[in-house]
Amino acid sequence: MGVGIGSVDPFRCVLCPKKRRVGKAARERGRYGSGVTDSEEVLKSHISPEMTAAIGRELGRRQSFPISDSDIRKWAIAIYYPEDPPRLFWDAAYAATTIHGGIVAPEDFNPFAWMSADPPGIRHGGYVGLEASLGVEPPDTRFMLNGGLEVTYGVRMRPGDVITSVSSLTGYQERQGRLGLMLLSTQSDRWTNQDDELVKSTSMTLIRY
C-alpha cells in the first residue's frame, strides 16, 4: 500500500537518512496500544497462583444495629426530597393495609451508612485492595475502573431487623483490550436478616490494567 503526499509511513524510521525498516516487534507495539509484543501478550497473566487460591475467601463481615422506624423515615425523606416520600415508609397505619403488612425500608436502604454494631464504630480509612485485605500480593497494575454492579433483592428490610453483610472474592478473568491485558475481579456482598433470609445480594466487577 502506498504512502500519500504529506503522510508518514509508520513502519519506516523517519529520522534515518537511509529510511531503514524497523523490526517486527516495534511494528507490533501499536496493535494493542500497550507497548508489548504479541508473544508477551499471550504469555503474560495478572493472576498468580496465590490469587487463584484466594477465590471464595471472605473479604469482610459486618452486622448492623437494629433498624428503627426513624432510620427508615429519615432515609426515605432524603432520597425523595423535595417530594414527600411514599407513606409505606413512614405511615404505620397505612403500611399495615398494604401487602407488606407494615413499614418497610426502601430497597436501597443501607443500615451500615452511619455505623455498624460489629465491628463497632465508624469505618475509617480509604479503599483497601482485594488482595491486600486477604494478605495476598496484588497484581502489577496501574489503573482501576468500575466494571459494573448487579443487584438481586430478597425480602424487604423492616424495623427491628438486624442485617449481616458478608463480602467475598468470587473470581478473576482476563481479557485482551485496547490498552493491553485487563484483569476483571469480581466480589460479592450478601446481606441477610436475623432469620437468615436473603435481603440483598450484589456482585461488583473491578477492571484493572
Spatial CB neighbours of 12, under 8 Å, sequence gap ≥ 6: 19, 20, 21, 22
pLDDT of residue 28: 44
| Residue 77 within any structural domain of the chain | no
- Tally of structural domains, the chain: 1
Say how many CA atoms lie within 13 Å of 27 toward its Cβ. 8
Residue 56 lies in a domain: yes
- Asked whether residue 122 is assigned to any structural domain, the reply reads yes
Least Cα distance to 166 among 202, 117, 138 occurs for 202
Which residue, chain included where needed, has cell 471472605? 58
With 0.85 as the threshold, say if the pTM is over it: no
> Is 11 part of any domain?
no
Task: List pLDDT tens digits, range 123-166.
Answer: 776 777 899 999 999 999 989 999 999 999 999 999 999 999 99
Three-state SS at 45: coil
Q: Structural domain of residue 63, as residue ranges? A: 35-67+111-208
57 located within any domain: yes
* Residue 149, amino acid: L
CATH number at residue 204: 3.10.129
In-domain check, residue 158: yes
The residue count of the chain comes to: 209
In a domain, 74, yes or no: no
